[in-house]
């Protein structure tokens, strides 16, 4: 293929990605906009209170643009979102964008650690379970997956606090850090662990690890259960293929058969599963954050729902949805790196 044709093909792919991203994000904006307009909560009364006069109500409604036709309101909503204006939180009186930038790094840190636990434990467990089908290790892996899929996360979190915090004192209590260490390191990345390392403050780092260990392990257990089940299923399918039998007949070492041939062929679908698990942890850690008083976007969203703070609710929903879109787009791009068939 000539350089000109290759450049043209890549330009077309990039344009396709951009159009897909724009169309998906527009759909997300439309969904959040109409949800905000159809919920039985009057945003004007939420701001002014139930005893506002008719004149104040009409003035506030006009100022918020709610007296305009619905299509015009949607255009204004899209304009505000593209400019980073997600409204003002009634609960904190801060711009929703600033609140999300403040709380989201805590959720990102927690979900990332949980996903790493899932990858480092769940994927090898699934591979070993598949290679030892119907043996003791396989039964243990299936039991782990069954319990992780059926046990409520809030109950497991409460039992973890009762055992490891209240009884054994192995971990710190709820929250992200003890109040005595709060504000001792400058916020650079938003990750308290990384910021403490950059500042060289080992006391803050150890305290942050003691706080995040239990909630990360609780969420990580669900990630282990999911990834181990999917890895086991993918590996069992590959290990039954004829090319695996041929490799074994030729005398190829079993380790190479398993990890080079079989595992290499499940890398791409496993990438999708891992991305989905990570996305679900980012938006599904609400109960864990509530149980552990973790100051993330889940706790922020729950507080906004309890106080009818629709600007904060819609802003959080929009942020999580946009993150889903970006993760899926990144996964599609990585497909072309790991799978030559997609590139051709």
Q: For residue range 46-97, what is the model confidence (pLDDT) as tens digits?
A: 667 777 777 787 887 777 777 788 888 888 888 888 888 888 887 888 899 9
Could you give the percent of the chain with pLDDT greater than 90? Answer: 23
**174 in a domain, yes or no?**
yes
Residue 54 and residue 24 share a domain: yes
**What is the token pair recorded at 246?**
């041929």
Residue 200 and residue 160 share a domain: yes
**87 in a domain, yes or no?**
no
Residue 158 and residue 63 share a domain: no
Residue 219 and residue 122 share a domain: yes
177 phi/psi in degrees, rounded to 5: -165, 155
**90 in a domain, yes or no?**
no
Cα–Cα distance, 269 to 266 (Å, whole number): 6
Cross-strand bridge partners of residue 88: 95
Nearest Cα to 145, choosing from 137, 253, 46, 259?
137
> 24, 56, 82: which is the final residue of a domain?
82
Residue 254 and residue 114 share a domain: yes
Q: What is the mean pLDDT of the chain?
A: 84
Cα–Cα distance, 64 to 91 (Å, whole number): 18
Residue 111 and residue 248 share a domain: yes
| Burial of 304: CB neighbours in 10 Å, binned 0-12, 13-18, 19+ | buried
Would you place residue 340 in the very low, low, confident or very high pLDDT band (cuts 50, 70, 90)? low
- Which contiguous run of DSSP H or E holds residue 234? helix 202-239
What CATH number is associated with residue 221? 1.10.3720.10
Cα–Cα distance, 299 to 292 (Å, whole number): 10
Q: Into how many domains does the chain fold?
A: 2
* pLDDT at res. 113: 93
**123 in a domain, yes or no?**
yes
| pLDDT per residue as tens digits for the range 129-157 | 999 988 998 998 899 888 888 888 888 88
> 82, 109, 142: which is the final residue of a domain?
82
Cα–Cα distance, 259 to 184 (Å, whole number): 45
The predicted model gives 107-125 an average pLDDT of 93
* pLDDT at res. 2: 65
Residue 209 and residue 143 share a domain: yes
Range of the domain at 319: 96-343
Q: What does the DSSP assignment read for 127-177? A: HHHHHTTTSHHHHHHHHHHHHHHHS-HHHHHHHHIIIIIIIS--S--SSSS
The predicted model gives 23-42 an average pLDDT of 79
**13 in a domain, yes or no?**
yes
> 51, 82, 113: which is the final residue of a domain?
82
* pLDDT at res. 339: 65
**88 in a domain, yes or no?**
no
Residue 18 and residue 105 share a domain: no
Would you place residue 6 in the very low, low, confident or very high pLDDT band (cuts 50, 70, 90)? low
Residue 76 and residue 115 share a domain: no
């Amino acid at each position: 293929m000539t350089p000109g044709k290759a450049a043209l093909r890549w330009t077309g792919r990039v344009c396709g990605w951009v159009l897909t991203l724009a169309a998906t994000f527009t759909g997300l904006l439309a969904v959040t906009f109409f949800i905000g307009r159809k919920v039985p909560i009057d945003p004007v009364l939420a701001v002014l209170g139930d005893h506002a006069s008719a004149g104040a109500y009409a003035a506030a409604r006009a100022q918020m643009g709610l007296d305009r036709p619905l299509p015009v309101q949607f255009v204004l909503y899209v304009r505000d979102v593209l400019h980073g204006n997600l409204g003002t939180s009634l609960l904190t009186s801060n711009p929703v964008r600033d609140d999300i930038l403040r709380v989201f790094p805590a959720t990102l840190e927690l979900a990332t650690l949980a996903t790493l636990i899932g990858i480092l434990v769940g994927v090898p467990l699934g591979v070993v379970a598949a290679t030892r089908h119907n043996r003791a290790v396989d039964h243990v892996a299936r039991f782990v997956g069954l319990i992780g899929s059926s046990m409520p996360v809030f109950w497991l979190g409460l039992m973890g606090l009762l055992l490891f915090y209240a009884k054994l004192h192995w971990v710190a209590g709820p929250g992200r850090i003890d109040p005595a260490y709060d504000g001792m390191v400058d916020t650079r990345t938003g990750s308290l662990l990384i910021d403490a390392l950059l500042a060289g403050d080992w006391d803050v780092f150890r305290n942050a690890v003691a706080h995040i260990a239990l909630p990360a392990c609780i969420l990580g257990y669900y990630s282990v259960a999911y990834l181990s089940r999917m890895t086991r299923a993918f590996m069992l399918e590959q290990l039954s293929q004829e090319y695996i039998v041929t490799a074994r007949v030729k005398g190829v070492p079993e380790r190479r058969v398993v990890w080079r041939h079989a595992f290499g062929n499940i890398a791409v679908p496993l990438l999708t599963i891992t991305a989905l698990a990570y996305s679900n942890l980012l938006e599904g850690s609400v109960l864990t954050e509530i149980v552990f008083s973790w100051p993330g976007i889940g706790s922020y969203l729950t507080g906004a729902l309890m106080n009818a703070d629709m600007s904060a609710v819609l802003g959080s929903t929009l942020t999580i949805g946009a993150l889903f879109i970006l993760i899926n787009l990144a996964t599609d791009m990585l497909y072309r790196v790991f799978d030559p068939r997609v590139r051709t």
